[in-house]
Chains A and B, each alone.
Chain A
């Protein structure tokens, strides 16, 4: 009898846990799609209180900042992952591995403070500062997933390459990394999806901007930032736009992950 009750309780927990998921996605679709419009995607915000306007500069700004973050974070992350897998099977490597795991747990707002301290203090808010803060968050994640993927490559593959006279650096890059490509790319996309929605590190590094900005050393608008500001405002129109912005954010994250997955799959079939 207790057994039956506990089974029921377990099913109940599953229902309770999945309910917010359904609620959030459902409500997001409902409010988001309803508020989406062509002007939303192409216009910049209107002055406070005036209805209309859009988040075009925030969408572009997000892409810009994420681009900077990826350019800095991905090479360092992959390099650190290669180090841990190929050269770091010792105590020093264990220290770096532990550090990466610990860094994964640092609150994003603290990383924002560090980004502020190194790039904004004395220089002003900038897209670069936001990109650097986000890249700090990317590196530990990419490092650990790359390491795990590289460790899955069979040792025999490396030995075969050495046996043929391939130098170590070439083996690591052209053979080991190449074999683990799809896993590594998945890891990068996971890190990318995680930082794409991050707001806290951008709060005092890029600050936000009502207008277009194409320069890396000026405050820039970003989608999560804009959603936050609009959500906290007192205007229904801005609340509507916050929902539309959230919808666009989720769509951007999902499509970028799906697109990269598709390209990787095509690429690996083409290469084979």
Chain B
């Protein structure tokens, strides 16, 4: 007889015959349902973690929010004694240190990625990427240790005097040369985010179709022109995504920054001056915060940091996703 026969046999055979990975059956053995429930609970745990973070941060910062409102993010006084809290110095510090880090890291990372994918002999590719990834494996506190004992003396002894002599007229490189300050923080952050930006850039460069490169070469481009026109231009969105991801990491980096930025909640134009970031003030003052408003103000800074990094990271992932998975490469003629 044509067509499937109804099978009246034991449960095991029935479910084996019915169940394929493409069908979702609502019935099934008890053990299967329990397993599915347990696994789904694990999946929900990920969501629960996010909800928990948001709940705790908002709940514990309510006190500060009621006391200061939006002015919290515009005020510059950080005065625990008189219970006056303003987060502007930290926002400034976070932005400036991350900006300095990006300015240093982006050309270096893109250069390394371009070298590894386009210019490097095939045999060197593996070891080279391995070493750059190794930079990402070093714990943050060891970066801070090295920066404090090696980088800072280097800066105060050689680099900062040089910068003050040549570029001091810009106003960015003036003032006492402690070594410790915004410049040191920017440099160590740059070293820390280079592996991230360069690995994503390498990924998006490899996705560019080979025929784009060949077309440019056939039209008479030199290797650099080919890279600039056919490869980098195509991978633009992905590279920007990688840069934003690196920015996200730089915004939240705590330990290395805390050890070299000077921890002074003040806004200064010069990069030689000490500063403070949102993450570093949390690291230094949280365990010693006296009073509920103080603690609540710190947690509000933590909430702001959390929201900023979430937005930045989500944006970055969207950008990278559109290049590596969705759209075909488009060449601008």
Query: Hey, which chain B residues are within 8 Å of A250, CB to CB?
Result: 138-139, 142
Instruction: Decide if A102 touches B43 in the complex (CB within 8 Å).
Output: no
Beta-carbon contacts under 8 Å, A47-105 to B: 75-76, 78-80, 82-84, 86-88, 93, 95-96, 98-105
With A113-B57, A239-B149: A106-B252 Cβ-Cβ less than 8 Å: yes
Decide if B46 touches A139 in the complex (CB within 8 Å).
yes
Q: Is the interface of B mostly helix, strand, loop or mixed?
A: helix
CB pair A200–B283 under 8 Å, yes or no, is yes
Q: In the complex, are the beta carbons of A118 and B46 less than 8 A apart?
A: no
Give the distance in Å from the alpha carbon of A164 to the alpha carbon of B13 in the complex.
Answer: 9
Could you say which of B47, B148, B259 contacts A96, with CB atoms under 8 Å apart?
B47
B313 A118 Cβ-Cβ under 8 A: no
Do residues A13 and B115 form an inter-chain contact, with CB atoms below 8 A? yes
Closest to A116 in B: B286
Tell me whether chain A's interface is mostly helix, strand or loop, or mixed: helix
Interface size on B, residues (CB 8 A): 92
Q: Contact between B253 and A107 (Cβ–Cβ < 8 Å)?
A: yes
A128 at the binding interface (Cβ < 8 Å): no
Cβ contact within 8 Å between A87 and B40:
yes
Contact between A108 and B252, CB atoms less than 8 A apart: yes
B291-333 CB contacts (< 8 Å) to partner A:
299, 302, 305-306, 309-310, 312-314, 317
0/1 per residue, A188-205, Cβ < 8 Å to B?
000001001111100110
Binds A, one of B14-22, B78-86, B166-174: B14-22
Q: Does B31 have its Cβ within 8 Å of any Cβ on chain A?
A: yes
For A169, the closest partner residue in chain B by CB is: B35
Instruction: Report yes or no: B57 in contact with A227, Cβ–Cβ below 8 A.
Output: no
Q: Is A83 within 8 A of B42, CB to CB?
A: yes
- Given A17-B108, A79-B39, A99-B47, the answer on whether A242 and B145 have CB atoms closer than 8 Å is yes
CA distance A257 to B98 in the complex (A): 31
B53 contacts the other chain (Cβ, under 8 Å)?
A: yes
Contact B222 A105 (CB under 8 A): no
Please give the distance in Å from B261's CB to the nearest CB on chain A. 13
| A139 in contact with B45 (CB, 8 Å) | yes
A sample of 30 cross-chain residue pairs with beta-carbon separation below 8 angstroms, ordered by A number, consists of A7-B119, A10-B114, A14-B115, A17-B135, A21-B131, A75-B42, A76-B45, A83-B39, A86-B39, A96-B46, A105-B249, A109-B252, A109-B279, A109-B302, A110-B53, A143-B46, A162-B20, A163-B16, A165-B13, A168-B19, A199-B141, A200-B255, A224-B139, A228-B141, A228-B255, A231-B141, A231-B144, A239-B149, A250-B138, A250-B142
B residues in contact (CB < 8 Å) with A: 12-13, 15-16, 19-21, 28-29, 31-32, 34-36, 38-47, 49-50, 52-53, 56-57, 59-60, 107-112, 114-116, 119, 128, 131-132, 134-135, 137-146, 148-150, 191, 194, 198, 222-225, 227, 245, 248-249, 251-255, 259, 279, 282-283, 286-287, 299, 302, 305-306, 309-310, 312-314, 317
